[in-house]
Amino acid sequence: MWTGEVEHGDSMGNKGVIRAGDVQWMTAGSGIIHQEMPQEYDGLMQGFQLWVNLPAKKKMIDPKYRGIESEQIPMVQKAVKRLNLLQAGLTEQKDRFETYPLT
């Protein structure tokens, strides 16, 4: 989420508000129903979604959801460039979310 706020809810009981800088990481797997409702916000609301197809042998895995607050996202800063390190393997975080290599 770049700016604004969105309330998330899903069929697994996960709830929360996604704010500027936050990320939600969801694996649909065998199925999850979710909704995202924009919250009242004074200004422009901006965000984006990236959908990636799972490998065939992983399509029916259990669904998963994780809301990641901006403070939990490791940052690397060199000169004037910043990079969010969300991809598993790039950080020493012990609570990484399971990911699959893009092939």
**How many other C-beta atoms lie within 10 A of the C-beta of residue 86?**
17
Amino acid identity of 75?
A: M
Element at 49 (helix H, strand E): none
Task: Determine how β-strand 15-19 pairs with β-strand 81-84.
Answer: unpaired
Would you write out the chain's pLDDT as a tens digit for each of its 103 residues?
A: 888 889 999 999 999 999 988 988 888 889 988 888 888 777 778 888 888 888 899 899 999 888 888 888 877 666 655 555 555 444 455 555 565 554 4
Element at 54 (helix H, strand E): none
Half-sphere exposure of 28 (CA within 13 A, CB side): 10
On whether the CB atoms of residues 30 and 70 are closer than 8 A, the answer is: no
Looking up tokens 């490791």 gives 74
